[in-house]
């Protein structure tokens, strides 16, 4: 599969796929990763593990934890604990629009006891 095919299939566009392949873009958003994984017929988790994270200390485990936290918030959970310190999280959902103008919801949370923020 070429970058062009992949760009088309994943709807990310050829330029972004080329940038991702060239390592210019090494940090995919959850949505982009899902699109790419679908185009490649692999699990999003596979991509997550091969994504380069040169300047970020965040581990795959921490990232998955944040993502599942986000999903829980979007599903209506409000009694969540901070993954960093176990303190109380203030959770909310922010409505927005994606690049195609479709409405999307973003999970937001911050910890009352430490600097942890989910956005
Ligand atoms: Zn905390």
Cα 82 to middle of ligand 1, angstroms? 5
Residue 56 lies in a domain: no
- Co-location of 11 and 36 in the same domain: yes
Give the Å distance between the CA of 113 and the centre of ligand 1: 5
Residue 57 in domain: no
Instruction: Tell me: do 74 and 111 sit in the same domain.
Output: yes
Residue 69 CA to residue 50 CA, distance in Å, equals 22
| 110 and 74 together in one domain | yes
Please give the model's pTM, rounded to 2 decimal places.
Answer: 0.49
- Model pLDDT for residues 75-116, shown as the tens digit of each residue: 999 889 998 899 999 999 999 888 889 888 899 999 999 999
Q: Count the domains in the chain.
A: 2
Domain of 26 in residue numbering reads as 3-50
Chain mean pLDDT for the chain: 83
42, 78: one domain: no
Cα of 3 to ligand 1 centre, how many Å?
Answer: 41
Residue 43 lies in a domain: yes
What is the Cα–Cα distance from 72 to 85, expressed in whole angstroms? 18
- What local confidence, expressed as pLDDT, does residue 74 receive? 94
Are 70 and 114 within one domain? yes
Q: How far apart are CA 12 and CA 16, in angstroms?
A: 6
């Amino acid at each position: 599969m070429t970058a062009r095919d992949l760009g088309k299939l994943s709807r990310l566009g050829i330029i972004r796929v080329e940038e991702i392949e060239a390592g210019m873009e090494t940090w995919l958003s959850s949505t982009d990763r899902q699109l790419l994984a679908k185009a490649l017929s692999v699990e999003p988790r596979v991509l997550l593990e091969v994504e380069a994270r040169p300047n970020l200390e965040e581990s795959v485990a921490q990232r998955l934890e944040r993502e599942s936290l986000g999903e829980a918030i979007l599903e209506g959970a409000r009694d969540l604990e901070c993954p960093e310190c176990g303190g109380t999280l203030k959770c909310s959902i922010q409505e927005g629009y994606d690049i195609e103008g479709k409405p999307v919801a973003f999970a937001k949370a911050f910890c009352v006891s430490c600097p942890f923020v989910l956005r």
